Amino acid sequence: MADMTVEAGAAAPTTMPRRLSEGWFAWALIAPAMLFIGVIVAWPLAETLRLSFTDANLGGEHWVGWANYQALWDSSPFAQTIGRTFYWMVLSVCLKLILGLIGATLLNAAVPGRGLFRVLVMPPWVIPIAIGCIGWLWLYNGHFGMLAGLAQRWGLIGGPFEFLAYKQSAFYSAIVTDVWVGTPMVSLFFLAAMQGVSRDLYEAAWVDGAGRWYRFRRITIPQIMPVIVSMALLSAIWTFNSFEVIWILTQGGPRGATTTLIVDTYKTAIGNYKFGEGAARAVVIVVLLASFSLIYLFFLNKVNRKYGVK
Amino acid sequence: MKYLKTATLAAALLGGSALGAQAQELHFIMCGGEVRPADQTVIDQFQKDNPGVTVNMEAVPWGTCQDKSLTLAAAGDPPSIAYMGSRTLKQLANNDLIVPVEISAEQQALYQPGVLQTVSSGGQLWGYPHAFSTKALYMNCDLIEKAGMECKGPETWADLIKMAQTVKDQLGIAGIGLAGKDFDNTMHQFLNFLYSDGGQVINADTGEVLLDSPQTREVLELYKALTPLAEEGPTAWERDQLKDLFNDGKIAMYVNGPWGRGQHNADIHQLVAPIPHGPSGPSGTILITDSIVVFKQHDHPEVQAMAQKLAQALTTGAAQYDLDQSWGLTPIYQYEKMGIDKPFYQDDPFWQVFVDGIHTGGPEPLVVDFKSLQSVFTNMVQGVMLNDDTIDNLATKAGEELAAIK
């Protein structure tokens, strides 16, 4: 090993072939990563982009130029779907962040049985989403489900109520389930961040007479802000693309009331075998999410600077 | 010795390839999640009669089965043969994924009226009809009598509404179960009522879309009247779930196929009646078939030929009779013409209802995009159930949407 180092050190600065081989060596080092990104990310993306300019279906494909995008642009249901998707995302992410923050604060409190509570918060995140959603499907059933049963027993409703049968109740029921699925992870990340906050800061504030709310607002929140920022962005992307919850509960119905962009794309590309039109929708999703992420990061950088977070 | 070894190796290779040429594997996708014993018997016999032929059965639930077959075919790895809903045939045929079937003229003459219409497109037959159903109204007589009425099938829509209203008023439970979920049987239920009012969807001869019609509006009016009398939130229910409500005594009536009798609790005193007719036509029913299709095998014509042979074995004579009888299906053939003495449905009042409906029934429409067809109907039905739009608008939009996909 020592011999090799000496030899390389002696020859490298003077000879052209050695410099070339160093260049090749560098390319060889990054080649696996490039290959990985090319196969996993770049090629599918490029293929999706190509398909979006065709009318690909079960029988083959033909180049159609911008026709798929033009059809989306002219479609008012598609515009409604975009609006619904953002509403779904904003509402669900806000609820996850708020509940996640509350949950993390409670789990961080010095209460007896704290370890048990930390374990109990895990199941919604740990069990397969499909299984959890099927459980919710039963809860929402108006005739046999627990929610309608309890509501009737407590006199809140006069008879069975099908949560998934009406446009508004189906939408908000799907939100509740999505929040149920997504909150534990947010809680645990926030909890981990809270545990990293120095005790000295709290003790100093306490000595100065700062109350609990003040300490939470002026110490905890700024200290965990980078995690809040990261979780908000990740959660937004996951929620935007959340498919299983909606598909299992409502399949996008009734009358499209729970159809988000990802459900619409699935129905078009996989359900109706219109691969070209589906690809155009997928490209729109990528563009929207990328734009949203950039705008979001821009504003959050401002927020971070305000809180002094690097 | 060296020559001997070479000769042995060559013989082994030749023998192997000859064996390979004889051995054939048929991939059979069976929608419905199970292989019915009557079909399995035929398949076992087929393998015995054709040494070297192996039939690999893959039973897939209805929810994903048709998608699986279509996706495999689109990806260039089609199954050899599949049992699927006939509504998929036009889409498969238009995309050159399946081959026309070979049914002799004599055999064609034996099918019940309307059956072959469900598998024909462009002047050719694309599937071997293998399961046939008509629909009727199931009534829970215990509930209807408890509500103070005679348990007798309602003849008209007005009678149906009155009966459902009385059950609702007297017993406080749903008078009728309606299917309104995003599911194929929401469309089927609508078509039962449309065909019981003289309505049509697509003109079989001209291909003209006839959905935007006075009859469609009349059916939507019926739905509007029945929705408050139906189970809570019908847009969340499909037909198979209504069966559970019927068994639990939570709905007094609903529309189902002949298999419903075997799915209902034995202690329910049930009556089966023809679907009540509307103001513009006689009682009718939707005629639905599921078919066996043979997928195009570009590189393996011998597999394609063998698949045709298997499909014919499954759908002819005694084999089909065994399936219909054992599975409680509407008879797909006029078995009395085949010389079967006293077929299972003859002189049986229950079967009478399902067989009589055949003559006034209408087909499940064949279009190039069967999923979109379903969406057109569920959108319209849910629209009236949720009071989301006017009946006029719903019918007009449905007609336009159907014209765009046919």
CA-to-CA distance for A183 and A180, rounded, in angstroms? Answer: 6
Contact B235 A254 (CB under 8 A): yes
> Tell me, what DSSP letter sits at residue B175?
S
Q: Is A57 on the interface with B (CB under 8 A)?
A: yes
Q: Is the CA virtual torsion A38, A39, A41, A45 positive or negative? A: positive
Contact A162 B236 (CB under 8 A): yes
A273 interaction partners in chain B (CB closer than 8 Å):
70, 74, 91, 371
Q: Is A165 on the interface with B (CB under 8 A)?
A: yes
pLDDT level of residue A309 (50, 70, 90 thresholds) = low
Mean pLDDT of A107-111: 82
Of B96, B245, B386, the CB nearest to A59: B96
pLDDT of amino acid A125: 82
Of A58, A255, A271, the CB nearest to B91: A58
**At residue B308, does pLDDT exceed 70?**
yes
A167 interaction partners in chain B (CB closer than 8 Å):
386, 388
**Mean pLDDT rounded to a whole number for chain A:** 88
Q: Is residue A54 helix, strand or coil?
A: strand
Q: Quote the tokens at residue B352.
A: 């009478």
CA-to-CA distance for A267 and B371, rounded, in angstroms? Answer: 9
Mean pLDDT of A151-166: 91
Contact B94 A59 (CB under 8 A): yes
CA-to-CA distance for A101 and A91, rounded, in angstroms? Answer: 15
Contact B182 A58 (CB under 8 A): no
**At residue B278, does pLDDT exceed 70?**
yes
Q: Quote the tokens at residue B107.
A: 């055999």
Q: Nearest to residue A188, comparing CAs of A99, A128, A94?
A: A99
Of A166, A250, A267, the CB nearest to B386: A166
CA-to-CA distance for B260 and A103, rounded, in angstroms? Answer: 49
Q: Is B97 on the interface with A (CB under 8 A)?
A: yes
Distances (CA, A) of A136 to A132, A183, B43, B182, B248: 6, 16, 41, 18, 22
Distance from the B370 Cα atom to the nearest Cα atom in chain A, whole angstroms: 8
Distance from the A247 Cα atom to the nearest Cα atom in chain B, whole angstroms: 11
pLDDT digits (tens, 9 = 90+) for B111-168: 999 899 899 988 899 999 999 999 999 999 999 999 999 999 999 999 999 999 999 9
Contact A253 B235 (CB under 8 A): yes
CA-to-CA distance for B48 and B54, rounded, in angstroms? Answer: 9
Q: Are B255 and B154 in contact (CB under 8 A)?
A: no
Mean pLDDT of B5-17: 43
Q: Are B180 and B234 in contact (CB under 8 A)?
A: yes
**At residue B14, does pLDDT exceed 60?**
no
Mean pLDDT of B368-379: 90
pLDDT of amino acid A310: 55
Scan residues 312-331 of B and list those with Cβ closer than 8 Å to A: none
Of A58, A159, A254, the CB nearest to B70: A58
CA-to-CA distance for B130 and A247, rounded, in angstroms? Answer: 31
**At residue B13, does pLDDT exceed 80?**
no
Contact A162 B232 (CB under 8 A): yes
For the domain spanning A75-306, the CATH number is: 1.10.3720.10
Contact A253 B383 (CB under 8 A): no
Question: CA angle A134-A137-A142, nearest 5°?
Answer: 155
Scan residues 108-127 of A and list those with Cβ closer than 8 Å to B: none
Q: Quote the tokens at residue B117.
A: 């219409």
- For chain A, the helix, strand and coil percentages under 3-state DSSP, each to the nearest 5: 75, 0, 25
Q: Is A59 on the interface with B (CB under 8 A)?
A: yes
Q: Which residues of A13-44 are buried (b: 16+ CB within 10 A; e: fewer)?
A: eeeeeeeeeeeeeeeeeeeeeeeeeeeeeeee
**At residue B103, does pLDDT exceed 60?**
yes
Dihedral angle, C-alpha B225, B231, B232, B237, nearest 10 °:
-110
Mean pLDDT of B260-271: 93
Q: Is residue A202 helix, strand or coil?
A: helix
pLDDT digits (tens, 9 = 90+) for A237-275: 999 999 999 999 999 989 999 999 999 999 999 888 899
Contact B388 A165 (CB under 8 A): no
Mean pLDDT of A113-140: 87
Contact A162 B74 (CB under 8 A): no
Distance from the B235 Cα atom to the nearest Cα atom in chain A, whole angstroms: 5
Q: Which residues of B228-246 are buried (b: 16+ CB within 10 A; e: fewer)?
A: ebbbbbbbbbbbebbbebb
Kindly list the domain boundaries of chain A, sorted by start residue: 2-43, 75-306
Contact B231 A143 (CB under 8 A): yes
Q: Is B174 on the interface with A (CB under 8 A)?
A: no
Contact B95 A58 (CB under 8 A): yes
* pLDDT above 90 as % of chain A: 61
**At residue A113, does pLDDT exceed 80?**
no
Q: Is residue A257 helix, strand or coil?
A: coil
**At residue B1, does pLDDT exceed 80?**
no
Domains for chain B: give ranges and CATH numbers.
24-133+288-359 (3.40.190.10), 136-284+367-405 (3.40.190.10)
Of B96, B236, B372, the CB nearest to A164: B236
pLDDT of amino acid A148: 92
pLDDT of amino acid A144: 87
Residue whose entry in the numeric block shows the structure tokens 């959108």: B379
Mean pLDDT of B209-217: 95
Sheet-wide strand order for B136-140: B253-256, B136-140, B270-273
Question: CA angle B325-B331-B337, nearest 5°?
Answer: 105
